[in-house]
């Protein structure tokens, strides 16, 4: 016990970070590209090789909004293969995030073991309120920005305005949207929390120190906005581009009419109110007011987004007013809970083991109650459903994920057997001209990175005015206008893409340009078969009867 007491708090926190990192890996360290990792890998590669995917509709004109992130990560793609680079970046980003989060939680009075409890509960319940956002998951610029945001908040709580401004600016450079909303929130928090004593000098100091490191993020964003909508008269109206982005492409992030239904309003409201109250009454008094104010301003941003949707201000919604509140409020709520939990441990020290054993129960109850707010709850209002939710608690979840990750990595390292799709992708990389364009399975988003060839279209929409042409292309492979939105487009394409006819394929080749067509192996066309396996067939499109098809 004496040795244990002699260990410094910093050493204990480092131990907690390592344990938390291992826990994060059980959830997200999968041996493949995760979510949008392939998208965020393209620009770092293109910095080293500008000709990479130069014929790809999505990738040939991606504007470098994440230039800071791209420049720092591009060496990894130079020295390692693309997938290995992503694996390394995940570990580095998660380690940084957890370290940055630990600085903030330590300031709020959370112990090293409380930090582990926080990470466990947070990742087992929900990272998002309603709009499908997240803080920690895959390797891209956003989680890095959140890490610097944690550092900015921590420095503001400790009245280090210079460093709060610097870290806010760096946040903007890594991710303009996360950085913009967090910096505005921190500035308002600074002004309101010290409204009686604050000076113009302090406000200007924060703004100046934020502005300088923010320039690498601000300049590309401003240039991109003006180039798309003001300097290039051939571009469609910005309002129409914004409307399509909100209601068609990303309604799960941008459209509250899509993700706020029924009890979702109650869930979001309770999270907002309880988070503000817990932070105000449980955290150290000198820090509590600032933290509660910051959460309050995030709530105001969220509400402004709801109002904007009802007023159809799509251009405002394009700036993701829900992003920060949707992801930061849940983790702040659980910070408040952990502070309360620590107080209970101190008050009932003899029952410490019993209290710790309640953590899985708390996770189960939270998951059950949150599930009841979903549009399609997994659990019903019955004792059986409640019991089932309780059984899916932390020990069982961790055991399950450990087993799954172990199986996946064993197969990946020791028994690497390519799937039929991977076999086709690698064959394409090795056996087709680099400037070829493929009509490929649009729902398989990482095709262009694995096959290293251009795609006619993928389900992921461009983040700019090219969304108009993207919609035309996606409706072409969908064989008609889209009936679904957001994630639903994925399932609609799964149904309609395999029904494309020879005439429709020739139409795509003649109007847009395409050299190969990848589809289900059961589909037989008169085109030349370039490659075939059990699941897929790759056709080379040579028929040029353009006048007939058009």
pLDDT given at position 1? 40
Distance between CA 413 and CA 31 in Å, rounded? 9
**Model pTM?**
0.93
Name, in order, each residue with C-beta under 8 angstroms of 510's C-beta and a sequence gap of 6 or more.
Answer: 544, 546, 549, 550
160 φ, ψ to 5°?
A: -100, 80
CA separation, residue 377 to residues 129, 263, 383, 481 (Å): 15, 11, 15, 30
Q: How confident is the model at residue 8 (pLDDT cuts 50, 70, 90)?
A: confident
Q: What is the pLDDT of residues 236-263, one digit of tens each?
A: 677 888 899 999 999 999 999 999 988 8
Average pLDDT over residues 336-349: 88
How confident is residue 2, by pLDDT bands cut at 50, 70 and 90? Answer: very low
CA proximity to 139, closest of 63, 80, 218, 73: 73
Q: Kindly report the average pLDDT of the chain as a whole number.
A: 89
| Confidence (pLDDT) at 512 | 87
- How many other CB atoms are found less than 10 A from the CB of residue 262? 10
Give the pLDDT of residue 64: 66
Q: What is d(CA 363, CA 389) in angstroms, rounded to the nearest whole number?
A: 9
Q: How far is CA 382 from CA 264, 266, 349, 378, 379, in A?
A: 20, 21, 35, 12, 8
The yes-or-no verdict on residue 199 having pLDDT over 60 is yes
Q: Any idea what the Cα angle at residue 181 is, between residues 128 and 28, rounded to 5°?
A: 35
CA separation for the pair 395, 536 (Å, rounded): 40
Question: What's the confidence (pLDDT) of residue 513?
Answer: 86
* Average confidence (pLDDT) over 33-47: 88
Q: What is the pLDDT at residue 477?
A: 94
Tokens of 243: 């409307």
Residues 41/190, Cβ–Cβ less than 8 Å: no
| pLDDT above 60: residue 232 | no
Which two structure tokens, joined as six digits, stand for 73? 């990560």
Task: Flag whether pLDDT at 20 surpasses 50.
Answer: yes
Phi, psi of 532 (to 5 degrees): -150, 145
Question: For 47-51, 69-73, 204-208, 223-227, which range has the lowest pLDDT when averaged over its residues?
Answer: 223-227
Mean pLDDT of 122-146: 93
Instruction: Tell me the residue length of the chain.
Output: 550
Lowest-confidence pick of 78-92, 141-155, 213-227, 488-502: 213-227
- Amino acid 521: pLDDT: 85
- Helix (H) or strand (E) segment spanning residue 530: strand 528-532
Q: Are 393 and 383 in contact (CB under 8 A)?
A: no
Cα 401–chain centre separation: 20
Q: What is the percentage of the chain residues whose pLDDT exceeds 70? A: 94
What pLDDT is attached to residue 546? 59
């Amino acid at each position: 016990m004496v040795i244990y007491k002699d260990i410094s708090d910093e050493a204990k926190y480092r131990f907690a970070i390592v344990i938390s990192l291992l826990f994060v890996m059980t959830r997200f360290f999968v041996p493949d590209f995760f979510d949008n990792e392939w998208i965020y890998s393209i620009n770092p590669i293109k910095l080293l090789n500008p000709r990479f995917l130069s014929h790809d509709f999505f990738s040939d004109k991606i504007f470098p909004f994440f230039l800071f992130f791209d420049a720092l990560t591009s060496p990894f793609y130079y020295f390692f293969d693309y997938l290995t680079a992503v694996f390394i970046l995940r570990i580095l980003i998660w380690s940084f995030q957890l370290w940055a989060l630990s600085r903030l939680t330590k300031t709020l009075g959370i112990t090293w073991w409380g930090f582990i409890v926080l990470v466990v509960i947070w990742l087992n319940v929900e990272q998002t309120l309603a709009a499908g956002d997240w803080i920690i998951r895959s390797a891209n610029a956003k989680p890095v920005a959140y890490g610097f945001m944690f550092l900015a908040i921590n420095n503001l709580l400790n009245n280090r305005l210079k460093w709060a401004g610097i870290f806010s600016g760096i946040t903007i450079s890594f991710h303009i949207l996360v950085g913009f909303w967090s910096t505005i929130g921190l500035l308002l928090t600074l002004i309101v929390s010290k409204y009686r004593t604050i000076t113009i000098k302090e406000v200007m100091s924060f703004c100046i120190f934020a502005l300088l490191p923010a320039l690498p993020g601000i300049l590309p964003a401003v240039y991109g906005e003006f180039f798309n909508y003001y300097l290039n008269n051939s571009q469609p109206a910005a309002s129409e581009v914004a409307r399509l982005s909100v209601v068609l492409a990303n309604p799960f992030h941008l459209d509250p009419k899509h993700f706020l239904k029924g009890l979702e309003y109650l869930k979001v409201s309770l999270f907002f109110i309880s988070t503000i109250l817990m932070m105000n009454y449980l955290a150290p008094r000198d820090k509590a007011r600032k933290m509660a104010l910051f959460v309050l301003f995030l709530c105001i941003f969220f509400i402004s987004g709801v109002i904007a949707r009802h007023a159809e201000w799509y251009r405002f919604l394009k700036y993701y007013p829900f992003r920060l509140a949707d992801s930061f409020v849940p983790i702040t709520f659980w910070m408040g809970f952990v502070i309360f939990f620590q107080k209970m441990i101190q008050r009932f020290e003899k029952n410490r083991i019993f209290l710790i054993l309640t953590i899985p129960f708390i996770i189960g109850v939270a998951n059950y109650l949150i599930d009841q707010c979903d549009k399609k709850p997994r659990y019903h209002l019955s004792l059986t459903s409640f019991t089932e939710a309780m059984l899916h608690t932390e020990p069982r979840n961790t055991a399950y994920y450990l087993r799954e990750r172990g199986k996946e990595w064993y197969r990946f390292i020791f028994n690497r057997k390519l799937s039929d799709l991977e076999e086709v992708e690698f064959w394409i990389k090795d056996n087709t001209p680099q400037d070829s364009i493929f009509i490929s399975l649009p729902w398989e988003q990482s095709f262009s990175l694995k096959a290293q060839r251009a795609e006619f279209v993928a389900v992921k929409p461009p983040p700019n005015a090219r969304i108009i042409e993207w919609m035309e292309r996606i409706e072409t492979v969908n064989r008609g206008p889209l009936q679904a939105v957001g994630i639903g487009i994925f399932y609609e394409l799964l149904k309609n893409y395999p029904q494309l006819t020879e005439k429709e394929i020739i139409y795509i080749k003649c109007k847009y340009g395409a050299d190969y067509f990848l589809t289900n192996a059961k589909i037989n066309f008169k085109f030349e078969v370039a490659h075939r396996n059990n699941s897929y067939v790759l056709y080379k499109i040579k028929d040029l009867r353009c006048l007939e098809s058009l």
